[in-house]
């Protein structure tokens, strides 16, 4: 992996940012994983102010991926050969993407970032349903956000306490359906 050259993930993320025009100057300082997660959630919510609807403390975030923050770790490792960058170091934790999305969309509810070999719809459904059952959240942004080198993949979806006419039931089969339709495959 050659980290010195611009990669397709970086080019895609910049192009997507320019196309979507989310007006978030902090975007340029973020690592690829945070950029991808932020853009995916922006597309999902489509200017919807979910924290205004449910209250910031009632909107959770639960993400997962297979490589944690390895992309940022590798970039940081390259930077320590010269002068280590504290700005890059902060992105060496996968939950930073949750922090960035939380700041942008004012979500202050329960949050977690899990690392697993593949997308685990059963675990995701169990974990998020438990948050709802224990009345920890009324809405939860969930999904798979992965970025490593030139590869990237994001599948995010919103689970809400109040469902509408066009919503799917929150069960493993529908989580698989979302992942398959968005991603072109089912893992797990």
pLDDT one-digit tens code per residue, 136-171: 999 999 999 998 888 888 999 999 987 666 666 777
pLDDT tens by residue, 29-50: 888 999 999 999 999 999 899 9
Measured on CA atoms in the order 103, 176, 115, 144, is the torsion positive or negative? negative
Map out the domains of the chain as residue ranges: 8-183
Whether the pTM exceeds 0.75: the reply is: yes
pLDDT the model gives residue 1: 35
Residue 106 backbone phi and psi in degrees, to 5: 55, 50
182 vs 39 pLDDT, higher one: 39
Give me the CATH code for the 8-183 domain, please: 3.40.47.10
d(CA 167, CA 162): 10
DSSP-assigned letter for residue 66: S
pLDDT-based confidence at residue 72 (cuts at 50, 70, 90) = low
Residue 128, pLDDT > 70, answer: yes
- pLDDT tens column, 93-108: 678 899 999 999 999 9
What pLDDT does 183 receive? 63
| pLDDT at 90 > cutoff 90 | no
Angle at 108 between CA 106 and CA 113, to 5 degrees: 105
Which range has highest mean pLDDT (68-72, 163-167, 177-181)?
177-181
Write the Ramachandran bin of 53: left for phi over 0, alpha for psi from -120 to 50, otherwise beta.
Answer: alpha
Least confident of 70-84, 113-127, 134-148, 168-182: 70-84
As a whole-number percent, the residues of the chain with pLDDT over 70 amount to 77
Query: What mean pLDDT is predicted for residues 1-5?
Result: 38
Which residues pair with residue 143 across a beta bridge?
63, 156
What order do you get walking across the sheet with 59-65 strand by strand? Answer: 111-115, 59-65, 139-148, 151-160
pLDDT of 10 = 84
Residue pair 158/139 in contact by the 8 Å Cβ criterion:
yes
The reported pLDDT for the residue numbered 184 is 58
Tell me how far apart the alpha carbons of residues 75 and 80 are, in angstroms, rounded to a whole number: 9
């Amino acid at each position: 992996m050659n980290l010195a050259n611009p990669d397709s993930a970086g080019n895609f993320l910049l192009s997507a940012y320019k196309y979507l025009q989310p007006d978030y100057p902090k975007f340029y300082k973020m690592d690829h994983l945070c950029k991808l997660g932020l853009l995916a959630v922006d597309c999902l919510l489509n200017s919807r102010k979910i924290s205004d609807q449910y209250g910031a403390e009632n909107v959770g975030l639960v993400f997962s991926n297979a490589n944690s923050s390895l992309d940022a770790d590798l970039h940081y490792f390259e930077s320590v050969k010269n002068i280590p960058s504290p700005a890059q170091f902060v992105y060496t934790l996968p939950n930073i993407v949750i922090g960035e999305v939380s700041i942008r969309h004012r979500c202050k509810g329960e949050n977690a970032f899990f690392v697993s070999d593949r997308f685990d719809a059963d675990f995701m459904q169990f974990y998020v349903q438990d948050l709802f059952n224990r009345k920890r959240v009324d809405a939860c942004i969930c999904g798979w956000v992965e970025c490593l080198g030139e590869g990237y993949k994001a599948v995010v979806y919103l689970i809400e306490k109040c469902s509408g006419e066009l919503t799917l039931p929150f069960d493993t089969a529908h989580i698989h359906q979302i992942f398959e339709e968005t991603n072109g495959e089912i893992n797990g």
